Structure 1
Amino acid sequence: MRNIGLHTGVYILGLAMVWLVQIRTFAQRAILTIDVNNKGAKISPSLHGIFFEEISHGGEGGLYAELIQNRGFEESNIPPGCSLDSGWIIPPRIPHFSSNAVSDWKMKWEAIGQWPAWSLQTTGKAKAEVSLSSKQPLHAATPHSLQLDIKAADKAGSVSVVNDGFWGIRVDKGESYNLTYYIRTKKFSGPITASLKADDGRTLASYTFDDAKSSSWKKYTCILKASDSDSNAKFHLTTNSPGTVWIDFVSLFPVKTFKNRPNGMRVDLANYLADLKPSFIRWPGGCFVEGISTESAPNWKRSLGPLTERPGTYSPWGYWSSDGIGYHEFLQFCEDIGADAMYVFNCGVSCEMRAGVYSPDEKIPGIIADILDGIEYAIGPVSSKWGAVRAQNGHPAPFPLKYIEVGNEQVGERYAKRFNIFYKAIKEKYPQLEVMAAMGIAHLHKPTVNAISKMDIADEHAYKGVYWPMIYHDWYDKYERKDWKLYVGEYACNSGVGSGNMMAALNDATFILGMERNADLITMSSYAPLLENINDTDWPVNLIRFDNAKSFARISYYTIKMMNENRASVNLKTDLKLAETEGSKVPLYTGKIGLSTWDTYAEFKDVQVLQNNKLVYTSDFVNHRNEWRTEGGDWKVNDQALAQTTEGAWPMAILSDRSFDIYTLKLKARKTGGPNAFMIPIAIQDNNNYLRAHIGAWWNAVSAFEMVTNGTDAMVTQPVRLENPIETNRWYDIEIRVNHSSIECYLDGKQVMVYKEPRRFFSIAGLDEKTGEIVVKVVNASNEEYTTRIELKGSNPVAIGKTITLSSEKPEDENTMEAPVKYTPIERNFTGYKNDFDYSFQPWSVTILRIKQNP
């Protein structure tokens, strides 16, 4: 989806803006006072969970251990309810759920050919053709098979159908792989050899089926044991006999899966999730649960039963999921890692950020009946209809289903009315379940809340740019307390932080401190997205990255892990006082000034810079146009103004040879066309690193300060709604006051917004009532040590304790495939402290102190 103007933080990319941080080179000191006898809110044991969605091939080709892509030859299917037009998926053209207007949204069709991931290979004089067949299907739910017509083949010339796997197949020497496939044949009498081969021709494993012929569908299985290793192998089915062979459901699994379950999970990725010790798992989405049409949305019943009968689900992220991780497998995985299950169901509305098509209200009773059946499958007695099906599937005991969420990121009064119906029906039959309401793609949506009669938990989402959690560290302190709790179902610092660096972890840690401090309100949270196959990145920043052979967890993963493992049971009153030396008077926003737009035509004139109330620069675009270097866009001098006359993102004009620190920038600006208004870059280090005031963003509705880092942007202040949209062909007076550690923006003499340099040091403390330990959590997001006086009020003298520190040399440091555990927590013991002691917290660090008291 294309964003116009200011981003919300949901679909923004970014890298860490180090230069703004590193110029703070002064010493730091803090005083942290902890009142051990002043207890606050209890901290929920369910605070940290995980959220799995089929995005970036996180499941298919990732957590799901299946090695064959397009195993059922169904991936050239158009998603149900949709049509195909000139390479684009077109959802039903009916009104959007929220706006009632028909959306023109469409989605690029990513399928490659009729049999994605498969190819035909011949050797010698062999000749063959392949086609997609729907005759005599293996099962009506999966109607296609691959038809192989072998015209000529002999010992000197063979025919193979080859599967690429998911960007290659990892094969490990000595390991075994379970193969299953189905064939039927006509005028074919020869053997078929199944093999794993490297690109250099090495055969890594093979097995020959001598009796591979049958006029009706027949299942073949074997174990392939690898004699060698390769990380980019391919799977071959080979024959040297003529005739016709229909092939379907070719499946290859490592024998070793997580908990050694058939149809199981990839061991390394499942262990990452288990090691987080999540309280719950949210599944299956996310946008995945919404679908791009209501017909294409996932349904739990379609994901049950024999794998050959599961038609699959098309992900809104552009690929097919086989539904191998179906409803039963999800519930089983929750049980396997000791987590409660949270099932999210489609409430009859497709993704509102896409087409937003929906089922009419008269279909709601059917949706209710379906979800009640799903709950019964999970926790109903074996004497019930669906409880009996669960038992037949090998699990008589109930699964740990505890939470039900009604839709994903729906919002508004219309959704609230639907939610009320679902809530009543679910609670009447299953009062023990907690039912959650969606709140859209951002924070708590008050109109939705006000229209909901009763809910147990509200699910808000919080994707944020770099520094937002630090600037708004007290965000949740200001929330009203009601008769429901808050679940931050998707959160991440995902812009301005590379693909997930130390600065991301510092922001995520600060955000977690805010949630934990507000434990009376926030009882659950989950980072998102969870998993990313690096060959298909649908989201800028993800928690765990992998390919078919390797994997690693980002620094934020270890941040969440250490926060959860050292979760106190109750908050303690904590007072943090910060002091800075005279070195802090160094100006923070030194750099060049500029002019810019976003998909908007605009003119700028009368640019002035004042320092100490003295005019130090004034523009003359007619006689001194060359003072301004331009990149992108189409810049022209129009009368006395510099005009940008084309659409596009971030064309810039920069005053080349002048740099300023503390100053006031004044100019006039006029919008001449386009959806947005003006951007005024300041503190420019180069074309790709600067701050900017964005006036009239989000389709000319709001203003905010944004940070651009290595050419990508992140919002660093809350958007401020304009009193009136910026008018076309009207001149506006803009004034930017760049102070020592803050920036003010004025429009026609009225202050619009302020950016303040964020704090870099944060702390909370709590008591672990099981061990009696005081747990202190500290984030130092500066490039200096914070020497901190820790004062424990009401505590016995400290006898022994330990520190857990996660740090790096630079904020842009990241774990990588080549160095997967370079930045992980380090644990040390310390002894001999008294009630008051000094501790120096490292630069760029998250630290936990566990302080034991003498009895």
Structure 2
Amino acid sequence: MHKILHTSFLLFVWNVCTAQGPTIIVDAAKTGAPVSKELHGIFFEEISHGGEGGLYAELIQNRGFEESRIPEGCTLDSGFIIPPRTPHFGSEKVSDWKMPFEAKSDYPAWTLTTGGGATGKISLDLSDPLYKENPRSLKVEVTRLGKTGKVAVVNEGFWGINVQQGETYALTFYTRTQNYTGNITARLVGGDGKTLGEKVFENVNSKDWKKLTATLRADATDAKATFQLSFSKPGKVWLDFVSLFPTKTFKGRQNGLRADLAQYLADLKPAFVRWPGGCFVEGISTQSAPNWKRSLGPVEQRSGTYSPWGYWSSDGLGYHEFLQFCEDIGAKAMYVFNCGVACEMRSGVYVEDKDVTPIITDILHAIEYAIGPKESEWGALRAKNGHPEPFPLHYVEVGNEQVGEKYAKRFNVFYDAIKARYPQLQVVAAMGIAHLSKPTIATISKMDMADEHAYKAAGWAMAYADWYDKYERKDWKLYVGEYACNSGVGTGNMTAALNDATFILGMERNSDLITMSSYAPLLENVHDTDWPVNLIRFDEAKSFARISYYTIKMLNENKATVNLATNVNVPVDASKPFFEGGIGLSTWDTQAEYKDIEIVKDGNVLYKSESLKGQDWNFEGGEWSAQNNMLTQTKDGPWPLAVLKEKSFDRYVLKLKARKTGGYNAFMIPFAFRDNQNYLRAHIGAWLNKVAAFETVTKGADAIVSQPVRLEKPVELNRWYDIELRVNNTNVECFLDGKLLMMYTKPLDFFGIAGRDEQTHEVVIKLVNATNTSRKVSLRINNTSLESNGKAIVISSSSPDDENSFEQPRQFVPQEDVVRNVASEFEYSCKPWSTTVLRLKEKR
């Protein structure tokens, strides 16, 4: 019997057929941890043009002509941004990290077009700026026009401007002129060159900056339109802050959000919004990190922030807009601020401890802007900006993915300063890029919440479904600020959704510890993918949400109030071989030799390398050779493979000798091999030759699926080791020099939790079926009486590779159905590849 603890691995359950279905016993009289009302939130970061060219509704790219600037504190060398060459926060060594600068011209996204014999040129100009915060403008010189000539500047938008017939668009731009007596015509132009909407501006001649505005109405639809400003006479015209917004934004706000994307976020009903990062908040130098004050006020005067993901954000979606959006969707706000450290995975440059005081003052000002009285200095500015009442700021996070004792000491300073002024706020500590950091925790004096990040490959969430059950409880709570099954799952298929659902079930069951979580990344413009798997995908015109989005939404909308004691028993058919497939040999950044390979089943030798020949093996990657009855691999790199040709085994003993001749790790023994993208392996000497573990490779992505075992001592160079894999029907045992080193058991493939919704008086049961077969589940609900009809909400597909798409954006969404004949004991059939919520009404 398994008490809500499960392991699973999707790759190897495709052909599973259990003789008996799962059994779930719920004790409605025994309550567990209350389920946090704030368990599900969202995290927005400026990555993959998720904001600029995405959520932020501005249609003009590089509207202020500033995007060929080099980020503050950095220099440009041979096309690369070079951050300050000062010591790294973690290592104190100077990092040689650099990143390519994406701007390929002085005025990205803008071009000059001429025709009919006309001539002209464009250039950046820093004289007489519109505002000092954005000193660059575009200088247009029309030198010859003629009767049929054309000179225009063209903006491509963000991979096209989506223009819809009958819709209106608010245009703003600034001009000044010299010796120019003509008109300026603003046009939306389709891909076929036809004008979709236009406005002629007369009397534009002015030596001083003049603001021009108009509303353009589209006569036709084109998702790949451009915006053009054309000139009717020779002369010089300067342009700045050219902005075009759809009139219809989310909730109709000026400087607003793209309606379809914002609605996706609102429909998730998030308890909170974490903003602005992520790596974005860290920056690539301390000077270039986001600054909330720079993101306030008139948009023409916001100088923008360079994202570590390689492009400029205009800061149009700034601090005030973030707080307003939280209020608009009924979510609490979590503001993440830079603690004086640039991204540790990049440059890692930092402000010395003695210089942190201005940063503390700055964050206290930011908090005052959000929640201070309107009579306070920064509260008064909030009121001036149109919001006299406080915003719903409840959390602040000190940095992002910083880690270690040095960070912990800095955190203590911020914590004390913030709590002294605002004791009602929850102050969150970063924990690096993975799970809880013990050195960080040991040095932190006091924190309200720890922010753990969990990006995992396919299979991990199911192999470690009991991960949080084992966490020690302290006087602080856990926030899983970034999580996703994001490797080995295409761009986000049903496999990912089932892994994400299993992970969420574990968080909900442990919500005495985990009170908040948020998936990441949230938004992806498909024209600029910086991260492999994202929750919502879009282009300039269309959008769709992945199956994981609808799974999270479904599980959030059906949270119980409190957990109920639940036993989940998943029978395993031990009569059938589970680990069928080929065998192989491999390494990782290691040189090794293998010999005396033998495969035996029931006393019969199926293969023996008495005279090892290379033609018996397929080689991929690395440098393999077969000589002296040995297979030798002599190159560094990940996962070079030698696979025994045209052989498949289902229950056997594999014996071999292995010798490490160089490198960092040791031996990999692939088995249950289906192809070079999908298999299991025993990894002896992983993590720089420190541990052993079983791992999976799913669609080329690897994940550890057994508890790592620390080696008594590292694998030695030039010593032969005896390795033996005993592959049974339901488990695999790995021996090293005759001693059992580790064991891997056939994973479970079904998961469940139960709770009670105390408002609706329903028992809520959540189930994940990670197989290709319908599963008949026997349910027993003790110590309560149930009405005869209940409700099932199910999201399922016919294949683990299924995904939503632009063509079929809602192909896989939750479906509701009536569950009949509900009783204290009844059966329910779970669909293949499905996540299910059962809502069973209690009699009163």
Give the TM interval when normalised to the shorter protein.
Answer: over 0.9
1:310 equivalent in alignment to 2:302: yes
Superposed counterparts of 1:700-779, under 5 Å: 700-779=689-768
Task: Find the aligned partners of 1:722 and 1:70 in 2 and give their Cα distance.
Answer: 55
Moved more, 219-228 or 606-615: 606-615
Query: In the alignment, which residue of structure 2 is the partner of 1:8?
Result: none
CA contact 1:47–1:279 (8 Å) conserved in 2: yes
User: Residues of 1 paired with 2:146 and 2:299: CA distance?
Assistant: 35
Secondary structure of the corresponding residue to residue 212 of structure 2: strand
Specify the SS of the correspondent of 2:54.
Answer: helix
Quick one: structure 1 residues 723 and 386, their matched pair in 2 at CA, closer, same or farther if it must change by over 3 Å? Answer: farther
| 1:667 shift after superposition | 2.6
Answering whether residue 402 of structure 2 is matched by residue 410 of structure 1, we say: yes
Matched, 1:589 2:552: no
- The aligned amino acid for 2:309 is W
Give the 3 Å change call, closer, same or farther, for CA 721–326 of structure 1 in structure 2. Answer: farther
Specify whether residues 383 and 750 from structure 1 end up closer, same or farther in structure 2 by C-alpha distance, changes over 3 A only.
Answer: farther
Structure 1 counterpart of 2:189: 197
Q: CA deviation at 1:724?
A: 4.0
Alpha-carbon distance in structure 1 between the residues aligned to 2:227 and 2:611: 65
CA distance in 2, matches of 1:129, 1:717: 64
How do 1:163-242 and structure 2 match up within 5 A? Answer: 163-242=155-234
Match of 2:588 in 1: 598
Question: Which residue of the partner structure matches residue 340 of structure 2?
Answer: 348
- Among residues 669, 672, 685, which one is paired with 2:674 in the alignment? 685
Which residue does 2:4 correspond to in 1?
Answer: none
C-alpha spacing 1:321/1:697, structure 2 compared with 1 (3 Å) = farther
Q: How far does residue 638 in structure 1 lie from its aligned partner after superposition? A: 4.9
Determine if contact 2:457/2:701 at 8 Å carries over to the other structure.
Answer: no
Structure 2 Cα separation of the partners of residues 664 and 187 of structure 1: 89
Aligned mates of 2:675, 2:23 — CA distance in 1 = 38
Q: Structure 1 residues 729 and 310 mapped into 2: Cα distance closer, same or farther (>3 Å)?
A: farther
Q: Is the contact between residue 17 and residue 496 of structure 1 (CA under 8 Å) also seen in structure 2?
A: no
Q: 1:111 to 1:602 in 2, by over 3 A?
A: farther
Which of 525, 532, 536 is residue 533 of structure 1 equivalent to? 525
Does residue 836 (structure 1) correspond to residue 828 (structure 2)? The answer is no
Give 2:383's aligned residue: 391
2:371 to 352, 376, 379: 379
Equivalent residue, structure 1, for 2:281: 289
For residues 112 and 141 of structure 2, what CA distance do their matches in structure 1 show?
Answer: 11
- Partner of residue 474 from structure 1, selected from 466, 479, 482: 466
- Could you tell me which residue of structure 2 aligns to residue 609 of structure 1? 599
Match of 2:243 among 235, 244, 251: 251
Where structure 2 has 5 or more consecutive residues not aligned to the other structure, the ranges are 1-7
Residue of 657, 660, 664 corresponding to 1:668: 657
- Local SS of the residue matching 1:820: coil
Q: Using the TM superposition, give the Cα deviation of residue 402 of structure 1 relative to its aligned residue in structure 2, in angstroms.
A: 0.2
Q: Which moved more, 1:626-635 or 1:163-172?
A: 626-635
Question: Secondary structure of the residue that 1:595 maps to in structure 2?
Answer: strand
Indicate conservation of the 8 Å contact 1:808/1:823, yes or no. yes
d(CA) in 2 for partners of 1:155, 1:748: 90
Distance in 2 (CA, whole Å) between partners of 1:137 and 1:604 is 70
Give the TM-score taking structure 2 as reference length: 0.96
8 Å CA contact 1:467–1:758 kept in 2: the answer is no
Q: CA deviation at 1:646?
A: 3.1
Pick from 817, 837, 841 the counterpart of residue 848 of structure 1. Answer: 837
Cα offsets for 1:807-833 (capped at 9, x unmatched):
111111111111110111111123442
**Deviation digits for residues 719-748 of structure 1, max 9, x if unmatched?**
555454444444443333322223333444
The separation in 1 between residues aligned to 2:715 and 2:230, in whole angstroms, is 67
Partner SS for 2:52: helix
Superposed, which structure 2 residues align to 1:543-692 within 5 Å?
Answer: 543-580=535-572, 582=573, 584-620=574-610, 624-692=613-681
Q: State whether residues 440 and 461 of structure 1, in contact with CA within 8 Å, keep that contact through their aligned partners in structure 2.
A: yes
Name which of structure 1's ranges 81-90 and 633-642 shifts more when overlaid on structure 2.
Answer: 633-642
Shift of 1:457: 0.8
> How far does the alpha carbon of each residue in 1:636-663 deviate from its partner, in whole angstroms, 9 at most, with x for none?
2354432223344333221113221222
Q: Output the CA distance in 1 between the equivalents of 2:771 and 2:523.
A: 29
How far 1:235 moved relative to its partner?
A: 0.9
Q: Deviation per CA, 1:730-788: give whole Å up to 9, x if none.
A: 44433333222233334444544433332111111111111111111111112222212
Question: Amino acid of the residue matched to residue 130 of structure 1?
Answer: I
Aligned pair count? 837
Superposed displacement of residue 27, structure 1? 4.0
Letter in 2 for 1:135: S
Match of 1:125 among 106, 117, 122: 117
Query: Following the alignment from structure 1 to structure 2, what is the Cα–Cα distance between the partners of residues 702 and 246?
Result: 64
TM-score normalised according to structure 1 size: 0.95
Query: Which of these residues, 776, 779, 791, is aligned with residue 802 of structure 1?
Result: 791
Between 590-599 and 309-318, report the one with greater CA deviation. Answer: 590-599
Q: In structure 2, what residue type is equivalent to 1:350?
A: A
1:815 alignment partner AA: N
Change (3 A) 1:572 1:427: same
Partner of 1:261: 253
Query: Is the CA contact (8 Å cut-off) linking 1:496 and 1:714 kept in structure 2?
Result: no
Distance 1:184 1:852, change over 3 A: same
Task: Read off the aligned partner of 1:571 and give its amino acid letter.
Answer: N
Deviation at 1:574, TM superposition (A): 1.2
> Conserved in 1, the CA contact under 8 Å of 2:489 and 2:699?
no
- Deviation digits for residues 34-56 of structure 1 (CA, Å, limit 9, x no counterpart): 11121122111111100001111
Following the alignment from structure 2 to structure 1, what is the Cα–Cα distance between the partners of residues 234 and 714? 72
Whether contact under 8 Å (1:465, 1:493) holds in the other structure is yes
Report the secondary structure of 1:396's partner residue.
coil
Match of 2:513 among 506, 509, 521: 521
Distance of aligned partners of 1:621 and 1:326 in 2 relative to their CA distance in 1, 3 Å threshold: farther
Please give the alpha-carbon distance, in whole angstroms, between the structure 2 residues aligned to 1:500 and 1:752: 35
TM superposition shift of 1:85: 1.9
Contact 1:154–1:240 (Cα < 8 Å) also in 2? no
Does structure 1 retain, via aligned residues, the 8 Å contact 2:323–2:392?
yes
Q: Which moved more, 1:793-802 or 1:211-220?
A: 793-802
How far 1:501 sits from its partner (Å)?
1.0
1:435 aligns with 2:427: yes
Q: Superposition RMSD on alpha carbons, in Å? A: 1.9
Asked if the contact 2:786/2:843 (under 8 Å) is kept, the reply is yes
> Is the 2:488–2:700 contact (alpha carbons within 8 Å) kept by the matching residues of 1?
no
CA shift, 1:515, in A, is: 0.8
SS at 2:570 equivalent: strand
Conserved? CA contact 2:163–2:223, under 8 Å: yes
Q: Is the 8 A contact 1:18 1:812 kept in 2?
A: no
Q: Distance in 2 between matches of 1:228 and 1:31?
A: 59
